[in-house]
Structure 1
Amino acid sequence: MAEHNEFGKEGETAAADFLTEKGYSILHRNWRCGKKELDIVAKYNNELIVVEVKSRKDIRFGNPEEAVNDRKIRHIIASTDAYLRKFAIDLPVRFDIITVVGQEAPFQIEHIADAFYSPIW
């Protein structure tokens, strides 16, 4: 596996661990349905939390959250719709971003709750 893929997995693990420590229940990691994919799906305070994880070794080329553009948001929303239908979930949905920055653990982690909204819900 390519080095950047391994680093991305480390970032997602760090993000999931961070959420678990904060009391979130992780329902799925790297959930896939065809071409649709969600990094982390969690439950917290009777809400479904969809988390996009962005990992970077440094911020020389910008902050990680800047990579979550309109196209990516549309993809996340479509994937979330598929997830809700597949598991027949009727909960409010919140979209968060977790950024993971650093060469190795311990990483600098930032949790951006309500990072964006869907016009669907």
Structure 2
Amino acid sequence: MDFLGSKSATVATTSTQRGQWAEEQALRHLQAQGLKLIERNYRTPGRGGGEIDLIVRDRDGSLVFVEVRSRNTGRFGGAAASIGQSKQQRIVLAARHYLLKFAAPPPCRFDVVLVDTSGAQNRVQWLKAAFDAL
């Protein structure tokens, strides 16, 4: 876990702004661990597709598809509980679409970064290989 500073830095008025702020915190955390940003907010074309918040490359060359979740309360299981089966399926769908651009896809995994703003400090928790392609 990483502590990112006081809560006053998290002032955002809309859910979109809060999501963008959480993605920025997650990206900073991952970059501090040596991962390199490839793409942000990758979306599949058409309705009903999926989105990947961050696509990064790990030091070992693996492509990492990252879902960022943020919650300001621990009620209802917090941020981790909000990544259900259907959300995972949409992320996997988007990852498969993204991988079509590679002749030989690299090793990849699905990580989750949780940003908790419920306390006096903002915390980031990185869950490597949080789920598998179904």
TM-score (norm 2): 0.80
Calculate percent identity across the aligned residue pairs: 29
- Residue aligned with 1:61, SS: helix
Partner of 2:25: 14
Q: How many Å separate the matches in 1 of 2:62 and 2:113?
A: 17
Cα pair distance change 1:89/1:28, threshold 3 Å: farther
Say yes or no: does 1:25 pair with 2:39. no
Q: Which runs of 5+ in 1 are unaligned?
A: none
- Larger RCO, structures 1/2 (Cα 8 Å, 6+ apart): 2
Deviation at 1:118, TM superposition (A): 1.2
Deviation at 1:87, TM superposition (A): 4.8
Deviation at 1:88, TM superposition (A): 4.4
In 1, are the aligned partners of 2:74 and 2:118 still within 8 Å (CA)?
A: no
Partner of 2:3: none
Say yes or no: does 1:65 pair with 2:80. yes
Partner of 2:93: 78
Deviation at 1:80, TM superposition (A): 0.2
In 1, are the aligned partners of 2:41 and 2:51 still within 8 Å (CA)?
A: yes
TM-score (norm 1): 0.88
- Residue aligned with 2:77, SS: coil
Q: Which runs of 5+ in 2 are unaligned?
A: 1-11
Deviation at 1:86, TM superposition (A): 3.1
Correspondence for 1:38 among 52, 56, 72 = 52
In 1, are the aligned partners of 2:64 and 2:109 still within 8 Å (CA)?
A: yes
